Amino acid sequence: MFAPFLAAGALIAYFGGSFAGGCIFVAAAAFSIVFAKKLKNVTICSAGLAAGSAAMVIYTLCYGMPVIGYAGQTVTTTVKVTGITEKSGDTQRFIGDVTLGDYSAKVDLSSESSVEVGNVAVAVIDLERADKENEVINFANGILLSGSVSEFFEIKKQNIGLSGFIEQIRDEMTDRLSEELFGEERQLALSMFFGKDESLSQTLSERIRISGVSHFTAVSGAHFAILASVILRLFPNKNRKARALFSFFIAPCGVLFFGFTLSVMRSSLMFLLMSIAPLFKRRADTLNSLCIAVCIILITMPQAVLDIGFALSVLGVFGAGIAGPAIAEKLCELIPEKAKFVSPAVTVFMSSVCAVFCTAPVSAAVFKGLSLNAVLASILIMPLLTVGMTFMLLLGLTGAGMFAVPIELSVRLIIMIINLFGSERRAFIGLNFFGAWIFAAICAIFVAVSMFGNMKTLWKCTAGTVVVAAVCIAVSFGVNENRREIRFVGNSTTNAAVVICGEKADVYVSGSGVGIADDISRCMRENGAYEINMLAAIDSDFCGELALGELLQLCDIENIVLGKNISGIPARLVNKNSTFCVNGMTIESAKASDSKTSADIVLYHGTITKPPQTGAELAIYFTNTSYDLPENSVNIYRDRDYCIKLNGDVKIEYRAK
């Protein structure tokens, strides 16, 4: 019980501020002292609350605030490049470890000079506070500052250490995998085995989200657990000492191989604790190992409590590895002796169901939805992923091409499963309404409680879960059916207005549309729209053909309106000067440099090279430029949830100029 209250204390201290955190610490510490001899559980919970709030307050005051104090300064410091995040034209964004006085900090940097992961440079950096819109995410990742490099004095490669050696092995393995696989099989294999999800096509990426198996395409604790269990199969179960000693080698190497993500570190700690438990004549308990791992991470890195991946990892393990098997064990007692052979299937099914319910609060709050296909899709994919990872390891170590055959076969079967479940858009329940995460949290609590107590408790909790889930889905359908609004999505070269009206949407694309299919599909998915009534892409050309083609694969589109013919896409044509009109509001597209357009709403696409001007009543930009935007403007790069509410029936038409 210490671990969950430790997390609660850290969350209260972060969102309540240092003063609230201090008050919580004093109150909880006093409470634990008063009841130390009387109420053991109360003491443990209070101690956890006090420790969590203290850890977060200390981290914020002693590290966070001093580092943020460098905002607005120009410093000359050493930068170690740890990750490339974006390449756009002549500008490159990357994550760098820098030294600021007595503090080592992680900073989100931009530069016109090219650097590579592992480079160590001496640079002049203009620092500012990290993006406030993503303050929670930044804080969780330890990125408290952002900056732009104005000058590099020296760029050199760092001497290869253990981490560099592991990185070289990863690169060699990915190269061998890329040589043997092609097309979607290569894309998915690189994503599922090495976390390189940037190689996924928009179509495949969106179908993965709709099918509810995104956790397989981000290297996490599950990948570490699979690989570790496969390797330990080489050791007999009786030779516990050899397995335990080898675990000391696997745990750190696994973290280096898969990356220093919090979920991988959590899995590594759990694996190590469960492996060495027999050496101390202790039972390898999953719940205790999970709680100890969580406590170690949160006490040393309290900001981890805000990390989405870490939260999903912990809740997923609790659901799949603890709650699921415990509930399945109770259910298996009801199975007749002659039908006991179905017990393993019951355990697998309940583990997947409990994992979905336990992670639902985070999915509802962050991803704004939940896939009903997640349980079955995960059950089918997990054994195929295990087979693929086993042979991937053999291929990477030996280079023998024959191991690519089972890899390709398993990945191809996974793609078939993803396409099957990912094409059912209605199976994804959009939970984009206030309080959705509360419904999900209540269901998760019912699942957690049901693993304790007797069968009567299990049936009551099951009934409560079903009722709350049904109410949540009913509210979701009601909210989505009555949704009438315009939302805006985009990227650095193009954007779009998505007019949502119940289950259908009308989409107006500004610019070529390249790379926007995923954003449009995501917007519709989160807000309960399943098909496109009309897609208008007046400025689309040959470059936008691929984008439109991907959107056609993702969504059912009844009508397409273009400014000119694009091969292979049946559409009706309108004059390129026609104006898109929603409930009397005119919407037009324009280049970022055009200030003459004066519609009610103007969607500006392209790169901003000078301070922008506009004649629109509302100007929509997607930009990370430092130029100040006009007062009547919205930057959807920063304000991604911006929308315009519509009243009454939605009327959409074209007006020829």
Please tell me whether residues 82 and 62 are part of one structural domain.
no
Please tell me whether residues 116 and 220 are part of one structural domain.
no
Which pLDDT score, from 0 to 100, does residue 465 have? Answer: 92
**pLDDT classification of 464: cutoffs 50, 70, 90:** very high
Please tell me whether residues 631 and 526 are part of one structural domain.
yes
* Range of the structural domain that residue 232 is part of: 215-306
- Give the CATH number for residue 95: 2.40.50
Please tell me whether residues 559 and 525 are part of one structural domain.
yes
The per-residue pLDDT of the chain, averaged, comes to: 82
**pLDDT tens digit sequence for 592-615:** 888 777 788 989 888 787 878 888
**pLDDT classification of 83: cutoffs 50, 70, 90:** confident
Please tell me whether residues 276 and 151 are part of one structural domain.
no
The sign one gets for the Cα dihedral 7, 11, 17, 20 is negative
How far is Cα 601 from Cα 615, in angstroms, rounded to an integer?
10
Is pLDDT of 556 > 70?
yes
pLDDT higher at 123 or 27: 123
Please tell me whether residues 616 and 494 are part of one structural domain.
yes
- Parallel, antiparallel, or unpaired: how do β-strands 585-591 and 103-111 relate? unpaired
Max CA-CA distance within the chain? Answer: 83
Please tell me whether residues 648 and 579 are part of one structural domain.
yes
Which pLDDT score, from 0 to 100, does residue 644 have? Answer: 92
Please tell me whether residues 536 and 609 are part of one structural domain.
yes
Please tell me whether residues 87 and 53 are part of one structural domain.
no
pLDDT higher at 427 or 157: 427
Query: What per-residue string of b and e applies to 333-364 under the rule 16 or more CB within 10 Å gives b?
Result: eeeeeeeeeeeeebbbbbbbbbbbbbbbbbbb
Q: Which residues contact 158 (CB under 8 A, 6 or more apart)?
A: 80, 118, 119, 120, 164
The sign one gets for the Cα dihedral 500, 503, 508, 510 is positive
Which pLDDT score, from 0 to 100, does residue 158 have? Answer: 67
Tokens at residue 144, please?
A: 């408290």
Number of CB atoms found within 10 A of residue 188's CB: 26
Please tell me whether residues 96 and 36 are part of one structural domain.
no
Q: Is residue 459 part of a domain?
A: no
Q: Quickly tell me which residue has 């357009």 as its tokens.
A: 597
Which pLDDT score, from 0 to 100, does residue 578 have? Answer: 77
